[in-house]
């Protein structure tokens, strides 16, 4: 039992220590919010796509690919969106419903999923499958619900639809996976010079991304609209995992795929939710509160879920 706990702590504590380091650097004014935003942009636009490209090329995507797992990720995401949308009807203010829905279903699976998998298994190959199954749907659903509930927009306009299409096609993470797919399909060689460069850039994704996330953390923001934010937090960190992870187990997913599924269902709300909410006319208080709460509490909940999976010899 102690060995299982140590295994789980080895998987989660280093990840959250990097986030705490970001908080510390912000506290001593070594990191500013502007610098954290720039760092976040670098990770999502450069380092993370390069890391996913590298893992796909090195692991041979055709050996990693699992149609049933990608389909599970897609359907679990659809179900999460629908359940959150149904619960959002309990909120009286329409704009709050859109924010609640987005923060309730949308995970930081690209960053934290990759971080956990790299930490536990040395490769983030399974994270690519989750991203293919969920991230395009994340973006489509976010634009739809935020447009339909925005106080400054006339519903789901043609411009909004065009925006979501462009967002999916130009998403750096999707482009990184696409490049890895093309490289694998064409069986292109990776020259030593390029391989070392890719490896160096890839190695910066997890530590810099986690520190940037920590540097953006502000507990004061978590006090605004605390009730809907708490409701979304419970959904994000507990309910969806309890509902859908047993299904993943029953379908035969184990080890890295099961950990990838866990991060899809139970990792904290991604910080990009706030940017999208603000850009689409929402106040953003529920969003920022949920991001802060899920990020802080996930250190405990993810460790607990990993411990349960390890104790049941599923990972």
Vertex 75 angle, CA 70 and 76, to 5°: 95
Residues 6+ apart with CB under 8 A from 263: 107, 109, 112, 113, 116, 117, 127, 130, 302
Class of domain 2-311: mainly alpha
Residues in CB range of 207: below 8 A, 6 or more apart = 18
Report residue 223's pLDDT band, with 50, 70 and 90 as the boundaries.
low
pLDDT tens profile 79-89 = 999 999 999 99
For the chain, the structural domain boundaries read 2-311
pLDDT value, residue 246: 96
Range from 46-50, 80-84, 112-116, 258-262 that averages highest in pLDDT:
80-84
* Section 12-31 average pLDDT: 85
Binned at pLDDT 50, 70 and 90, residue 48 comes out as confident
pLDDT digits (tens, 9 = 90+) for 101-147: 999 999 888 777 777 777 777 776 677 788 888 878 887 888 788 88
Q: What pTM does this model have?
A: 0.78
Check whether 61 has a pLDDT greater than 70. Answer: no
CA 212 to chain centre: 14
């Amino acid at each position: 039992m102690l060995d299982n706990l140590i295994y789980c702590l080895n998987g989660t504590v280093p990840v959250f220590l990097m986030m705490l380091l970001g908080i510390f650097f912000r506290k001593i004014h070594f990191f500013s919010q502007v610098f954290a935003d720039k760092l976040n942009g670098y990770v999502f636009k450069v380092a993370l796509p390069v890391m996913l490209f590298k893992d796909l090329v090195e692991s041979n995507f055709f050996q990693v690919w699992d149609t049933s797992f990608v389909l599970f990720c897609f359907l679990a995401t659809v179900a999460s969106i629908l359940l959150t949308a149904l619960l959002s009807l309990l909120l009286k203010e329409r704009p709050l419903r859109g924010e609640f829905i987005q923060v309730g279903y949308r995970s930081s699976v690209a960053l934290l999923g990759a971080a956990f998998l790299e930490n536990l298994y040395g490769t983030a190959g399974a994270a690519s499958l989750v991203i293919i199954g969920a991230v395009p749907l994340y973006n489509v659903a976010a634009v739809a619900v935020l447009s339909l509930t925005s106080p400054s927009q006339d519903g789901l306009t043609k411009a909004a639809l065009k925006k979501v299409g462009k967002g999916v096609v130009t998403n750096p993470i999707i482009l990184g996976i696409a490049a890895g797919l093309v490289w694998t399909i064409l069986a292109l060689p990776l020259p030593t010079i390029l391989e070392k460069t890719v490896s160096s850039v890839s190695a910066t994704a997890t530590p810099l991304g986690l520190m940037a996330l920590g540097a953006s953390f502000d507990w004061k923001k978590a006090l605004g609209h605390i009730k809907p934010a708490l409701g979304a937090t419970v959904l994000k960190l507990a309910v969806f995992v309890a509902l859908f992870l047993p299904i993943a187990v029953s379908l035969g997913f184990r080890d890295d795929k099961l950990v990838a599924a866990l991060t899809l269902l139970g990792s904290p709300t991604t910080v990009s939710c706030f940017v999208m909410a603000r850009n689409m006319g929402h106040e953003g208080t529920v969003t920022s509160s949920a991001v802060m709460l899920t990020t802080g509490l996930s250190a405990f909940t993810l460790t607990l879920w990993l411990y349960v999976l390890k104790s049941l010899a599923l990972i």
